[in-house]
Each structure stands twice: as structure tokens, then as C-alpha cells.
Amino acid sequence: MDAATRKIVERATVRIGERTKHAQGVLVAGPLVLTAAHCVTWDARGRMALGELVIEMVRKGRNRFRMEVLAAEPVADIAILGPVDDQQPELIDDYDAFQAWADRTTPLRVAPWDPPPWRPALGPGGEVIRPAAEQLVVRLAVHLRTVKSIWIDGHVVQRLGGRVRWPMVGLEMAGAIPSGTSGGPIVDDEGQLVGVVSSSAKCPILSRALPRWAWSHIVTIQGDVEPQ
């Protein structure tokens, strides 16, 4: 990935929460900000499902603006932030500040990448035959920028066999990912957004992790054909 592409990624990356909280997010078409679910303030009581307003502070340099948490999926560890309601007087300044920043910032293109479906070999009785030893099924080169402004190269991988009963997508990086990088962008060689940094070695692949409405909204604005 060249220096110009890295700059675009850096400019689209934001901090989530107040200064005592360490988490990141990234601007995509919408405009929306994607982050990890564990980086936002919400709980298991279903506050968003019950219609309660969940707000997060977002920071970019000297810019500060509140955004609304539109969705948070703890299993996939993905959350979506959108602009606040500009009809509420106490939030107008936040709405205007976000829109001004988004208008002058290039959003990252969400990659329509999806690991190919696994088609297992079947035995004579229809039973699934898994490799005795662990095998690498998929390997995609990716890059991420840590909260300490250091770039780390690695791969999104999918393995099967041995003790792995079903193909699982994981993240293998060349260096340690420091605390505070969660929610930050994971991009391919072209700077397209593949996933966000999760709380584990798993990588939420956006084409699978995003809710259907969000995926359709983003790819439509990007000009992509929505996958069936």
C-alpha cells in the first residue's frame, strides 16, 4: 500500500469516546462511522431496541462531535454510528460539525470481499470429511494502523482441519496490536476496508458482519451492485 493510500486511511480514522477511553472508528459512505461493538457504550438491556438514544463522542484532531449509535452487534463485534438528529436543538452543533468533517474527508470504500463458501467433501454415507491436519483455506493480505500510528502488515485467514471443525476467519498480524486500536480499520492493499479490529484474533468481515440495511446502504452509495 502506497503512502497516499495510507494518508487516506489515516484521515478517515477517528477516536471513539472521551479522552480517557481508547478506541477507534472509521468513516465510510453514508456518511457513517464503523467501529467495534465493544468500543461503544451500550448494555444488554436493549437500549437501542427500546428506542432509547445512545450517544458516543467522536474525536478527530481538534474536531469533536457526538454521534448516534445506530446498531451494535456483540457477536460480530461491529457497531455503526450515524449523525445525530439535527432537529434536536442541543445536538445541532454536533450534526453540523460531523457533516463538515465528513464533507472534507474521503470515506474508505468497503471491500465487497467475502471468503468463498466452504463446500465439504462427503463420505459414502453423506458424512462430512474434514482434513486430518489443519489447512489454510483463504489468505488475504491486509494492513492496520495502530492507535500509536504504527502500521502493521498481516493476513486475514480462514483455516480448516485438525481441531478446527468449521472454517473460521481470523486475523494474523506481523506484530502485536496495542490496546486502544480496537475499532480501527483493517484494509487491503488498495486501501479498501475489509474489517475492523476486534477484541480477539477474529476479524469481523464487513460483508458478513454488517446488518443488511447498512450493507445495502453503503454499497449503493459506493455504486456497487448489491450482492444477492
Name the least confident of 43-57, 80-94, 164-178.
43-57
pLDDT at 53: 74
Asked whether residue 135 carries a pLDDT value surpassing 70, the answer given is no
Domain ranges of the chain: 3-103, 121-206
Q: Are 146 and 178 in contact (CB under 8 A)?
A: yes
Q: Are 211 and 200 in contact (CB under 8 A)?
A: no
Read off the pLDDT of residues 69-111 as tens digits, 9 standing for 90 and up. Answer: 998 888 888 999 999 988 889 999 999 999 999 999 999 999 8
Cα angle for residues 60, 64, 68 (degrees, 5° grid) = 105
Q: What is the pTM of this model?
A: 0.84
Cell numbers found for residue 107: 470515506
Q: In terms of pLDDT, which residue wins out, 178 or 225?
A: 178
How far apart CA 68 and CA 81 sit, in angstroms, is: 5
- Plot region of 184 (φ>0 → left; ψ -120 to 50 → alpha; else → beta): beta
Tell me the CATH number of domain 121-206, given options 2.40.10, 3.40.50, 2.60.40, 3.30.160. Answer: 2.40.10
- Is CATH 2.40.10.10 the classification given to domain 3-103? yes
Diameter of the chain measured on Cα atoms? 68
